[in-house]
Chain A
Amino acid sequence: MVDLPEKKVGIISCSGEGCVEGTISRVATRLVLERLKPEETVTICLPLFLAGGGEERAFAKYYPTITVDGCEKLCAKVGTERYSGKPAGSIVVTDMTKSPRCSRPPSPRKLNSESLALAEKVAERIAQEVDRVLEHWR
Chain B
Amino acid sequence: MSEYLQTVFDKFELRVRKGYCYTEDGLWISMEEGRIRVGVSDYVQRTGGDVAFVELLKPGSTVERQAEFGTLETAKTTVSLLSPMSGTVEEANGRLGEKPELVNSDPYGEGWLVTLAPRNLENDVKTLMSADGYFELMLKKLETEHRKLESR
Tell me, rounded to whole Å, the shortest Cβ–Cβ distance linking A87 to chain B: 15
Q: Please report the C-alpha to C-alpha distance between residue A77 and residue B71 in the assembled complex, in whole angstroms.
A: 42
Report the bound CA distance from A43 to B149 in whole Å. 11
Q: Decide: B11 and A44 in contact? CB cutoff 8 A.
A: yes
Residue interface mask A24-51, B partner, CB < 8 A = 1: 0000000001100011001110000000
Q: Verify if A64 is at the interface (C-beta below 8 Å from B).
A: no
- CB of A59 within 8 A of CB of B148, answer no
Cβ contacts under 8 Å, A10 to chain B: 11
Chain A 1-39, CB within 8 Å of chain B: the 1/0 string? 000010010100000000000000000000001100011
Q: Are B11 and A59 in contact (CB under 8 A)?
A: yes
Residues of chain B contacted by A39 (CB below 8 angstroms) = 146
Does residue A131 face the partner (Cβ distance < 8 Å to B)?
no
Q: Does A58 contact B151, Cβ atoms closer than 8 Å?
A: no
Residue of B nearest to A4 (CB): B8
Q: Which residues of A are found within 8 Å of B146, using beta-carbon distances?
A: 39
Q: Tally chain A residues at the interface, Cβ within 8 Å.
A: 14
Of all chain B residues, the one with the shortest Cβ separation from A44 is B11
List A contacts of B8 (CB < 8 A): 5
Chain A residues with CB below 8 A from B10, complex form: 8, 42, 59
Q: Are B151 and A55 in contact (CB under 8 A)?
A: no
Contact A38 B148 (CB under 8 A): yes
Shortest A124–chain B CB gap in Å is 20
Q: Is the CB of A33 within 8 A of B151?
A: yes
Judge whether B13 is part of the interface by a CB distance below 8 angstroms: yes
Does chain A have a CB within 8 A of B150?
yes
Is B11's CB under 8 angstroms from A34's CB? Answer: no
A56 part of interface (Cβ distance < 8 Å): yes
Cβ-based interface call for B4 (8 A): no
Interface readout for B1-44 with A: 1 if CB under 8 Å, 0 if not? Answer: 00000001011110000000000000000000000000000000
| Residue contacts A-B, CB under 8 angstroms, 21 given | A5-B8, A8-B10, A10-B11, A33-B148, A33-B151, A34-B151, A38-B148, A39-B146, A42-B10, A42-B11, A42-B148, A43-B150, A44-B11, A55-B11, A55-B12, A55-B13, A56-B11, A58-B11, A58-B13, A59-B10, A59-B11
Seen from chain A, the residues whose Cβ lies within 8 Å of a Cβ on chain B are 5, 8, 10, 33-34, 38-39, 42-44, 55-56, 58-59
By Cβ-Cβ distance, the 8 closest A-B pairs, closest first, are A59-B11, A42-B10, A55-B11, A42-B11, A55-B12, A38-B148, A39-B146, A56-B11
Known pairs A8-B10, A59-B10, A59-B11; list 13 more (Cβ under 8 Å): A33-B148, A34-B151, A38-B148, A39-B146, A42-B10, A42-B11, A42-B148, A44-B11, A55-B11, A55-B12, A55-B13, A56-B11, A58-B11
